[in-house]
Amino acid sequence: MSKKINLKLVLPQIPDIELLATACIDKMARFLGVARNKTLEAHILTIEAVVNAFEHGSSARGQVYVEFTMSSRELVILVRDQGSGFDPTKVKDPNLEDKMAGSHRRGWGLKILKTMSDECHIESDSNGTRIRLVKNLIEE
């Protein structure tokens, strides 16, 4: 039976706090014997999900909830906010040419989450948004 680590964080809205979450990924990976190069995309996923939660899901508390479940095979990342929610089906994929030509070059977060993760599930309602990401940590 392989080991699993479950870690829950409540992140306050302060600059660069998402980097604390990525440091936790490194600590768990080291303990489980997962090579650091296997977790680099998980860093990007975590940063994007947390920053998006703070920017678009800000709540009165200004907190984002992050939960990691890691084994030597996969990392599950759950990010939850208490904002007003959104309809993920109405978010259009960014167009590279339009984004680079325009003055508003942001808006890549959801595309990154969907592209870099092995699984991406988004649930959102008036009580907030929950994102579940899975990143495989083994060679295929």
CATH code of the domain in which 109 resides: 3.30.565.10
Segments forming the whole domain that contains residue 129: 4-136
Q: Shortest CA distance to 77 belongs to which of 1, 6, 14, 20?
A: 6
Q: Shortest CA distance to 53 belongs to which of 77, 83, 23?
A: 83
Token representation of residue 135: 């990143």
Give residue 105's pLDDT band: very low, low, confident or very high (50, 70, 90).
low
pLDDT at 93: 64
Residue 19 has pLDDT above 60, yes or no: yes
Please count the structural domains in the chain: 1
pTM of this structure: 0.85
pLDDT at 113: 87
pLDDT at 2: 73
Residue 90 has pLDDT above 70, yes or no: no
Residue 84 has pLDDT above 60, yes or no: yes
